[in-house]
Structure 1
Amino acid sequence: ISGAVEFTESEQAKAQFNVNFFGTVNVSRAVLPSMRRQHRGRIVNISSVAAVAHIPFQAFYSASKAAVSSYSCALDNEVSPYGVRVTVVELGDIHTGFTQARQKTALGDDEYGGRISRSVSQMEKDELNGMSPEVIGTYIARIAQKKNCAPICVAGVKYKILRFLCKILPCTLRGKIVGSIYAK
């Protein structure tokens, strides 16, 4: 979903978390007993660099992906003594049906000076020019097959740099940079 937080219906926000976060939790719960008994396995969860580069007018998406990243790291600590490892892959822009499937709401665009529409338009442009799903699929498959893998992997050099900068820059500066791209 996209839109201003104050104009987003709570039910829409809950649905975003149900899919992105609780969907991930439910899949993990389904496979963990078997993996723990076998004393091996790798769970690969999908998150986004939006987990650390908090995108305006996609606050609930960013928050749900931050939850997936945090959950995955915590779960890895819980299950690693049983030979089960968890890796979260934080993705950037990918050219998929995601853009067309976005539930857009421009409610409040006048109050926000047109920033909602401009922000979503920039996101869609970035997504349509994003990496191919085949490249990302190959990347995720390689991670799933690795014996040893970092708990957090980021696909794409520019997104690795972005994630690194988001981790080291003060929150105010990070917000200004992301805001200059998506909240003009």
Structure 2
Amino acid sequence: MQMTQAVLPIMRAQQHGRIINIASISGTVAGPSQSIYSATKAAVIMMSEALAAEVAPFGIQVTAVGLSGVRTDFLDGRSMKRPAKRLPEYQVVAQTMTGLGQLNHHQSGDPVLVGQAIVKLAPMAHALRRLYLGNWSVAALQTKIEEVVNEVNQHLDLTQSIDHE
């Protein structure tokens, strides 16, 4: 956000610019033990979308990139904090932590290919508001969209019950 605030005056003055924010599929599809991480990545996505509408009149485009797993040191102990104390009631968190440990350095995403995709995104005449990268990211997004639509449709009466006629 601070970087965006720093570059916006320059981009407004030159009447063009491109802001690419790195988010995560976890900002759209959350899982156990990811509440804070998912909340921050969702904030990046929503800030990017709102900002895109605000700065479009200045010729500035904004994209949030929702990455799936990329082979970096992100899941290493020096980067990702693990719970100091494991509560037996939270087995799903323990299972998630074990799974993330096994996934570490085995993610399908290649950081070089991520960079290449962002380089392709940068000069696009009409930037995407969201770009999801990685097969798992797209599959998780499509599943999430279907789940949300189904849930809304199952409770449509309740959903629509607050409006005046």
Both proteins in one fold, TM over 0.5: yes
TM-score bucket (shorter structure): 0.7 to 0.9
Which residue type is aligned with residue 120 of structure 1?
M
Which residue number corresponds to residue 181 of structure 1? none
Q: What secondary structure, in the 3-state scheme, does the structure 1 residue paired with 2:102 have?
A: helix
What secondary structure does 1:102 align onto? coil
TM-score (norm 1): 0.74
1:66 to 2:8 alignment = no
Instruction: Confirm or deny: 8 A CA contact 1:93 1:127 kept in the other structure.
Output: no
Once the two structures are superposed, the pairs formed by residues 89-168 of structure 1 within 5 Å of their partners are: 89-100=65-76, 101-112=79-90, 114-130=91-107, 131-168=109-146
Structure 1 stretches of 5 or more lacking a match? Answer: 1-24, 174-184
Distance, in Å, in 2 between the alignment partners of 1:108 and 1:80 is 47
Structure 2's unaligned 5+ residue stretches are: 152-165
The amino acid across from 1:151 in the alignment is: R
Q: Deviations over 1:60-115 (max 9, x none)?
A: 00010001000100000000010000001000101101111111114243232x33
Secondary structure of the structure 2 residue equivalent to 1:170: helix
**Are 1:51 and 2:27 an aligned pair?**
yes
Q: The residue matched to 1:77 in structure 2 has which SS? A: helix
Cα distance in structure 2, aligned partners of 1:144 and 1:127: 29
RMSD: 1.8
Percent of aligned positions with the same letter in both sequences?
29
**TM-score normalised over the length of structure 2:** 0.82
Q: Give the structure with the larger helix fraction.
A: 1
Contact residue 106 and residue 117 of structure 1 kept, 8 A = no
Aligned length: 148
